[in-house]
Amino acid sequence: MKLASFRYGNRATYGAVTGDELIGAPAGLLGDCPTLADCIAAGRTGEIAAGDGIAASDTSWLPPIPAPARILCIGINYRLHVEETGRNLPDHPAVFLKLPDALVGHEAPIRRPKASPHFDYEGELALVVGKAGRNIAPEAAMDHVFGWSCFNDGSIRDFQKHSVTAGKNFTATGSFGPWVVPRAEAPPPEDMILETRVNGNAVQRSGVDMLIFDIPAIVSYLSTFTTLEPGDVIATGTPSGVGARRDPPLWLKPGDRVEVEISGIGCLGNPVEDGE
């Protein structure tokens, strides 16, 4: 079962995706758990599929967790990406934060800002936290992972040079979705293949087993400085092939389409438009 958040009519809601059908969460569950993050925290995701079917044509995708309390991102976490940036292998995970309004859902436009044409893609595996924890041991870390999703950490590279926070947080420059696949229903991360495509051409491809800091190490490290809560989102890093390191650079422009596909999870796709 894939779990998604979406807009239906004039309201934001959530439900399950089975084949081509959307099933809205039943009213009683929505009354107790207004968001998917609330439902995950309450341990009630098994009740979602009891709702009614919804025509997909009447909905628009939102990020699976539309407004996470924490979006924690790991930078420079694939060996070949370290090499293409000319850096040394890190001793610890490089962490930065992303704002919720920097992300849109599946099929929503990602927007190149007027401030810069240096708009880059970064396909990543994201995880959604399912159980709260602080100072989590690596061997217990996977117990705190609810499930997996696709993530595009859109980056404005010239701004990133003088401010990682600014370069990573222009409004609607990244995306997240289309859904979350519960961990028990997905392949293990080391068996996943991540591929990013621009206009149908593969620009990034790597096994997730090539992470420098694996999922248990990431979860354990992050939990040393903050209490992870259900619904928190962790993006685990991007492999080599980013646009900034190509010759010539491959910057995203209006009319392009970016797709991040992860085997066993799904495909996140977004058109590129001009933004503010």
CA 153, distance to chain mean position in Å, is: 8
pLDDT tens per residue, range 6-55: 999 889 999 999 877 899 999 999 999 999 999 999 999 999 999 999 98
Res. 271: pLDDT tops 90: yes
H/E stretch holding 84: helix 79-85
Beta-strand ranges (E) seen in 76-142 are 94-97, 103-104, 110-112, 119-120, 123-129
Q: What value, to the nearest 5°, has the Cα angle with vertex 225 and ends 221 and 227?
A: 95
Beta-strand ranges (E) seen in 163-224 are 174-182, 193-198, 201-207
Domain segments of the chain as ranges: 2-62, 71-274
pLDDT tens per residue, range 190-204: 999 999 999 999 999
pLDDT tens per residue, range 219-260: 999 999 999 999 999 999 999 999 999 999 999 999 999 999
**Residues near 263 by beta carbon (within 8 Å), at least 6 away in sequence:** 187, 191, 192, 193
Mean pLDDT of the chain: 96
What amino acid is encoded at 168 in this protein?
Answer: K
60-74, 83-97, 172-186: least confidently modelled range: 83-97
Q: Phi, psi (5° rounding) for residue 270?
A: -145, 135
DSSP 1-36: -EEEEEEETTEEEEEEEETTEEEEPPHHHHHH--SH
Q: pLDDT confidence of 179, banded at 50, 70, 90?
A: very high
Cβ 156 vs Cβ 166: under 8 Å:
yes
What's the burial of 118, exposed, middle or buried (CB within 10 Å: 0-12/13-18/19+)? Answer: buried
Question: 71-274 has which CATH code?
Answer: 3.90.850.10
